[in-house]
Amino acid sequence: MKTSSKHIILKTEALSIGYQQKKKRVVIVNNINLSIEKGTFVAVLGKNGIGKSTLLRTLSKVQNSLDGNVFLNNKNLSEYSNKELATSLSLVLTEHLPESQLTVFELIALGRQPYTNWIDTLSAEDFKKIHWAIKQTEIEHLQHNRFYELSDGQLQRVLIARALAQDTPIIILDEPTAHLDMHHTFKIFSLLKKLVDTTGKTIIISTHQVNLAIDLVDELIALSDKGLVNGRVQSLIDNDTLEHLFSKEIIKFNKTLRQFTIHKNN
């Protein structure tokens, strides 16, 4: 159940994201001031190359920020050790996994690494968490398969299970539905929504499924050429933020349908 008290789990202050190229800094988005409550389902929207992945990578410390601060549970992200961060935040990335013979079970079990001893022995507690993650993502029938035998949709569920097994209050997913058809895209979205509703976890995704996101998530982070706007879905509709998400000649936001539609004359 969602907590009634407003606990801000993730906050940024004047955050600048981008990357350092030799001595030149390339700023992608400037002055980001986000605040995300515990137990919300958040989607980062925006066109290709606008900085969605960079934002998520910066929030999860895969990449360093250029300026400003990120606070996770009121503690500055830069003060987190790798190990401490591993018990606070888990990831599902878009990158391909290197080839190996890992089984689905073993892959999910790797999510328990922050808790296991020096030779990676699984405790009863670890097994419990792994089985719970497998059950939540409905992949019981796949657990003894090798991960390379899975379809994209199945693999995505396995990666979500791995993040769940890591038992963190926040899960960040970079385009979890990138290679999926409509059916599987919807299944992943509803799985994530169910997890937010039942476990009180905070889930942040980046996605191009804008219409689905508007329907299912609680909050949006909209990235456009005008910068970043963060808020509840309805408030972003009301203040016309979504109108400016894409170039208006082709795609338009229809307020009554709460959907993006394509211009007929194109």
Partner 1 sequence: MKNNKTYKKQFILLSILLVVLWFVNICLGSVSIPFQEIFYILIGEETSKESWQTIILNFRVPKAITAILVGSGLSISGLLMQTLFRNPLAGPFVLGISSGASLGVALLILGSSFLGGSLLSLVFSNWSLAIAASLGAFLVLSAVIIAANSVRNTMSILIIGLMFGSLTSAVISVLAYFSEAEQIQQYLFWSFGSLGNLTWEELLVFFIIYVIGIFGTFMVIKPLNSFLLGENYAKSLGIHIKKSRNIILLITSLLTGVATAFSGPIAFIGLAVPHIAKMLFNTSNHKILIPAVIIIGAIVLLICDTIAQLPSSEYTLPINAITSLFGAPVVIWLLIRKKKIYV
Beta bridge partners of 25: 20
Phi, psi dihedral angles at 22 (to 5 degrees): 50, -115
Report the distance separating Cα 256 and Cα 65, nearest Å.
38
Least distance from partner 1 to the Cβ atom of residue 63, Å? 10
CB 195 within 8 A of CB 201: yes
The single-letter DSSP state of residue 2 is: -
Nearer to partner 1, 120 or 238 (CB): 120
With respect to partner 1, which residue has the nearer C-beta, 161 or 222?
161
Residue with structure tokens 């379809």? 151
Q: Which is nearer to partner 1, 102 or 216 (CB)?
A: 102
Per CB under 8 A, the list member of 7, 13, 31, 62 interacting with partner 1 is 62
Beta strands in the chain (DSSP E): 8-21, 24-32, 35-37, 41-45, 67-72, 75-76, 89-92, 170-174, 202-206, 219-224, 227-232, 251-254, 259-262
123/128 Cα distance (integer angstroms): 9
Whether the CB-CB separation of 66 and 20 falls below 8 Å is answered with yes
Q: What tokens were used for 66? A: 């250029």
Applying CB under 8 A, does 102 fall inside the site for partner 1? yes
Per-residue binding letters, 182-221, with partner 1 (x by CB under 8 A): ----------------------------------------
Across-strand partners of 251? 262
Closest distance to partner 1 from the beta carbon of 183 (Å): 27
Scanning 44-52, 103-111, 226-234, 239-247 for contacts with partner 1 by CB under 8 A, the matching segment is: 103-111
**12, 53, 54, 60: residue in contact with partner 1 (rule CB under 8 A):** 60
Binding of partner 1 at residue 165 (CB under 8 A)?
no
Taking the least distance from each CB to partner 1, the nearer of 44 and 165 is: 165
Instruction: Lay out the site mask for partner 1 across 104-133 (x = CB under 8 A, - = otherwise).
Output: -xxx-xxx-xx-x-xxx-x-----------
> In whole angstroms, how close is the CB of 166 to partner 1 at the nearest point?
7
**22 binds partner 1, rule: CB under 8 A:** no
21 touches partner 1 (CB under 8 A): no
User: Total residues at the site for partner 1 (CB under 8 A)?
Assistant: 36
Q: Closer CB to partner 1, residue 129 or residue 228?
A: 129
Residue 176: alpha-carbon gap to chain centroid: 8
Helix/strand/coil for 65: coil
* Through-space distance between the first and last CA atoms of the chain, rounded to whole angstroms: 45
Q: For residue 144, which phi and psi values (nearest 5 degrees)?
A: -100, 0
Residues 81-100 that bind partner 1 (CB under 8 A): 81-87, 89-91, 93, 95-100
Residue ranges that bind partner 1, judged by CB under 8 A? 60, 62, 81-87, 89-91, 93, 95-103, 105-107, 109-111, 113-114, 116, 118-120, 122, 166
